[in-house]
């Protein structure tokens, strides 16, 4: 006899569909002072600009954990795809965090109200300035920041000081060939010269406002101009226009001229040591 078919009592298990987690946005870590107008600038200018460039903005005051804040800033800096540093006011904490970013060879965009806020050695990097006398300065700055972030994302290494691009076996630092490093140095020097040339054709009233305030700053300018190979008469005119005494310039250049067999950088550093 044929056996009776007994219906199965097993219940079909529902298929488990793996839900893909949304891809986490890469971050832009903003280095700037807290409080006052800075908070408003962060919320209305920097955050919208960063979001429009496809990144997620973060700032150190996002951190509310009980751990040491320096550790958290270090972690944020390591994680960030790019950093935005507002150097207006020359806040020491901002410069400390900027130093951490440079130590990790992270691409950084600098923002300041004027070039006088930017240390001389950083002026070869991408710098955004803004003019608060312009009624539309906020939207203009927002557009500049967004555009700069997009450009840097295409070539992040060009927003890193070459001194921090040493080829090391470290997952934290980008590696470059010697030729690539030299090309980056050349490009940054050209960017610096372009800014200097533009400043030379500024109206006299604007040029007069750019004053060197200390002997140390004058030595830094002289050192950089000599390293760039600028003619000595151009150096003299440039420094005099910024308020450096003509006698001081002549003395430094005279010391430099006494050592023709020494490289320009070494000669000026030797004269600087004599002056100290």
Q: Closest Cα to residue 101, out of 152, 146, 139, 25?
A: 152
Residues 155 and 216 in one domain: no
pLDDT of residue 263 exceeding 50: no
Residues 50 and 126 in one domain: yes
Q: Which whole number is the average pLDDT over 168-183?
A: 63
Task: Kindly state whether residue 3 falls inside one of the protein's structural domains.
Answer: no
Task: Kindly state whether residue 37 falls inside one of the protein's structural domains.
Answer: yes
Higher pLDDT, 141 or 175: 141
Residue for token pair 């800075």: 38
168 lies in which domain range?
Answer: 27-176
Residues 172 and 233 in one domain: no
- The last residue of a domain, from among 126, 149, 176: 176
Quickly state the pLDDT bin for 68 (edges 50, 70, 90): low
pLDDT of residue 17 exceeding 80: no
Residues 139 and 243 in one domain: no
pLDDT of residue 147 exceeding 80: yes
Q: What is the per-residue pLDDT for 168?
A: 44
At residue 16, φ and ψ (nearest 5 deg) are -90, 120
Q: Over the stretch 36-53, which tens digit does the pLDDT of each residue have?
A: 888 889 999 999 999 999
Residues 149 and 254 in one domain: no
At residue 125, φ and ψ (nearest 5 deg) are -80, 175
- The last residue of a domain, from among 176, 195, 226: 176
The 8 Å CB, 24+ separation contacts for 35-44 are 38/86, 41/86, 44/138
Average of per-residue pLDDT values in the chain: 76
Query: Helix crossing, 246-257 with 264-275: angle to 10°?
Result: 130
Task: Kindly state whether residue 5 falls inside one of the protein's structural domains.
Answer: no
Residues 33 and 134 in one domain: yes
Domains: count for the chain: 2
pLDDT of residue 63 exceeding 70: no
Residues 263 and 127 in one domain: no
**Whole-number Å distance between alpha carbons of 166 and 174:** 9
**Whole-number Å distance between alpha carbons of 177 and 262:** 29
Residues 130 and 32 in one domain: yes
pTM above 0.85, yes or no: no
Task: Kindly state whether residue 7 falls inside one of the protein's structural domains.
Answer: no
Residues 170 and 228 in one domain: no
What number of other Cβ atoms are within 10 A of residue 225's Cβ? 20
Q: What is the per-residue pLDDT for 95?
A: 92
Which residues are bridge partners to 112 per DSSP?
129
- CATH number of the domain enclosing 60: 3.40.50.450
Residues 85 and 131 in one domain: yes
Residues 58 and 159 in one domain: yes
**Whole-number Å distance between alpha carbons of 72 and 60:** 8
pLDDT of residue 240 exceeding 80: yes
Q: What is the per-residue pLDDT for 262?
A: 40
Residues 62 and 111 in one domain: yes
**Whole-number Å distance between alpha carbons of 184 and 7:** 76
Task: Kindly state whether residue 8 falls inside one of the protein's structural domains.
Answer: no
């Amino acid at each position: 006899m044929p056996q009776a078919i007994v219906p199965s009592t097993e219940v079909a298990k529902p298929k488990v569909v793996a839900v893909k987690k949304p891809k986490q946005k890469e971050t832009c870590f903003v280095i700037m002072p807290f409080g006052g107008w800075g908070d408003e600038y962060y919320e209305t200018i920097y955050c919208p600009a960063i979001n429009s460039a496809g990144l997620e903005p973060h700032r150190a005051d996002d951190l509310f954990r009980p751990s040491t804040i320096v550790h958290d800033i270090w972690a944020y800096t390591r994680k960030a795809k790019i950093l935005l540093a507002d150097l207006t006011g020359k806040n020491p904490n901002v410069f400390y965090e900027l130093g951490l970013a440079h130590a990790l060879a992270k691409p950084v965009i600098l923002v300041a109200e004027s070039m006088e806020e930017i240390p001389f050695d950083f002026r070869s990097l991408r710098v955004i300035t803004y003019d608060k006398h312009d009624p539309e300065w906020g939207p203009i700055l927002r557009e500049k920041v967004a555009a700069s972030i997009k450009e840097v994302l295409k070539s992040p290494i060009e927003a890193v000081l070459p001194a921090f691009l040493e080829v090391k076996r470290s997952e934290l630092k980008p590696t470059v060939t010697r030729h690539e490093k030299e090309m980056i140095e050349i490009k940054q020097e050209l960017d610096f010269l372009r800014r200097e040339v533009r400043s030379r054709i500024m109206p006299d009233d604007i040029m007069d406002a750019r004053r060197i305030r200390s002997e140390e700053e004058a030595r830094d300018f002289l050192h950089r101009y000599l390293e760039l190979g600028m003619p000595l008469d151009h150096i003299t005119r440039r420094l005099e226009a910024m308020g450096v005494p003509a006698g001081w310039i002549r003395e430094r250049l005279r010391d430099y001229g006494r050592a023709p067999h020494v490289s320009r950088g070494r000669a000026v550093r030797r004269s600087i040591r004599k002056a100290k």
